[in-house]
Amino acid sequence: MLKEFKDFILTGNVIDFAVAVILAGAVGLVVNSFVADIVMPVVGEALGGMDFADLRYVLSAAVGVEGEAGFKPENAIRYGVWINTIINLITVGFVLFIIVKAYNKTRTIEEPAPAGPTQEELLAEIRDLLKK
């Protein structure tokens, strides 16, 4: 069983998958930073200086002072964070689209040259023509 696991874990597919997961995590961090630190400030400024993360519908306000006994935090629907997440998703999808499109352009697909008839096929054709 240990040998089977070793054979499984050392196959190229598992290693490739592990590398892909690690790279996806790194790309995710870069894209999240791009959205949070570059895109959202520009979008917020274009919309009059608002920050989507601050948008929320308060269900119950905070009670007391934070850090003191009896403090109850605010309960709110934070739809602005959800808007940020949707923009993040669209940005990630667009970045992946650009990456795949660039990859497909660099990949050369060799099409096989059209094969002509074989020597045997030509001889059979000549034989059939001579019979007629």
For residue 88 the two structure tokens come to: 């993040």
Calculate the alpha carbon distances from 102 to 18, 94, 105 in Å: 23, 12, 5
- The tokens 């990859």 sit on which residue? 103
User: CA 10 to CA 2: how far, in whole Å?
Assistant: 12
SS3 label, residue 67: coil
130 domain residue, yes or no = no
Number of domains in the chain: 1
Give per-residue pLDDT as tens, 47-101: 787 777 888 898 988 888 888 888 888 899 989 888 888 887 887 788 778 888 8
Domain of 87, in residue numbers: 2-108
What is the reported pTM? Answer: 0.53
Residue 36's domain is classified under what CATH number?
1.10.1200.120
d(CA 19, CA 8): 16
